[in-house]
Structure 1
Amino acid sequence: MEEAMNIDEIKEILPHRYPFLLVDKILEVEPGEKIVGLKNVTTNEEFFNGHFPGHPIMPGVLIVEAMAQVAGIGLLTTVDNPEEKVPYFGRINDARFRKPVKPGDQLIMEIEVAKLRGRMGKVEAKALVDGEVVTEATLTCFIQDK
């Protein structure tokens, strides 16, 4: 899969920064339809210091946040002047955590748009490691002016 957006391009439109930027690249974009993003989970992530010592796993809430960031980028691709907008969470439904995400994993977030109306979008989000679903949720996001 070819890179559709690198980290510098992501930073042009997404306001998140270290340590809260949880997307390393966008692999695929079909505006208004689908977006696929990638997060390399390294042993150097700060959250592993406390979650959990001796048994590091990525907190589920951060996996959901990573999926939401990819969804936000996807929604931003549907508006004019995305660098002047910011994506926000509206709702999280039906979150399921199927397997732990550990240091060294590559998290692939697949986001399918279920409904898009104006600046509001409802998406079906999945996070996968090695082709297996580790987390899934329905997310509602909206776009605001900065």
Structure 2
Amino acid sequence: MPPAQFVDLAQFDLDHVEFGAEQIRAVNPHRYEFELLSTIIAYRPEEGFIVGSLQTTPEDFWVRGHIPGNPLMPGVVMVEAAAQLCSFYWRTHFPDVDKFFGFGGIEETSFRNKVLPGDRLILVGKSIQVKTRRAIFGCQGYVNGTMTFDTVIRGLIVG
């Protein structure tokens, strides 16, 4: 049985763009094939959550080789997209910290449904602990209202 939703997605206009691609690029360092956030739908640090999206396409780097004839987004790519969402939250929350905030680990990860080329993956990050040197987020992903994965992501200052 999937865990409870962190936020009720019905309360959001999922087509709303609070931060677009250029604004995300100004915060996150990821580029090219590894830009795994299309939009930030809602950034609510006072409520401890962030909602974003990734619009997948048939041209995405994983489509050709991850199960030819039946392409499925790899779970590690789903988790990386969620990590980028959490990185955006942290970097926006601490804009004066001029150090690289990187992936520290994952825990309690479950993959519950598939993400196909053309699907829009809605990502939710809930802050569990956010400090200047490290952070912990609960993350969930959804396609068409169905939970596709959930995990706990740790981020930390690297270097």
TM-score, with length taken from structure 1: 0.92
CA distance in 2, matches of 1:13, 1:85: 12
Matched, 1:74 2:89: yes
CA distance in 2, matches of 1:109, 1:98: 14
AA aligned to 2:126 is E
Match of 1:12 in 2: 26
Counterpart selection for 2:42 from 28, 38, 42: 28
AA aligned to 1:94 is E
**Could you report, residue by residue, the CA deviation over 1:50-95 in whole angstroms, capped at 9, with x for unpaired residues?**
001100100100000000000100111111336x443201110011
Share of identical aligned residues, percent?
31
Moved over 3 A (4+): none
C-alpha displacement at 1:117, in angstroms?
2.5
**Contact 2:104–2:155 under 8 Å retained in 1:** yes
Instruction: Kindly report which structure 2 residues correspond to 1:40-79, keeping only aligned pairs within 5 A, or say none.
Output: 40-79=55-94
Match of 1:131 in 2: 145
TM-score, with length taken from structure 2: 0.85
Task: Report which of the two has the higher share of strand.
Answer: 1
**Could you report, residue by residue, the CA deviation over 1:108-132 in whole angstroms, capped at 9, with x for unpaired residues?**
0000001122331111000100111
CA distance in 1, matches of 2:40, 2:99: 18
CA distance in 1, matches of 2:132, 2:30: 23
CA distance in 1, matches of 2:116, 2:17: 24
**Could you report, residue by residue, the CA deviation over 1:1-58 in whole angstroms, capped at 9, with x for unpaired residues?**
2311110010011110011110011000012611111000111112111001100100
Match of 2:106 in 1: 92
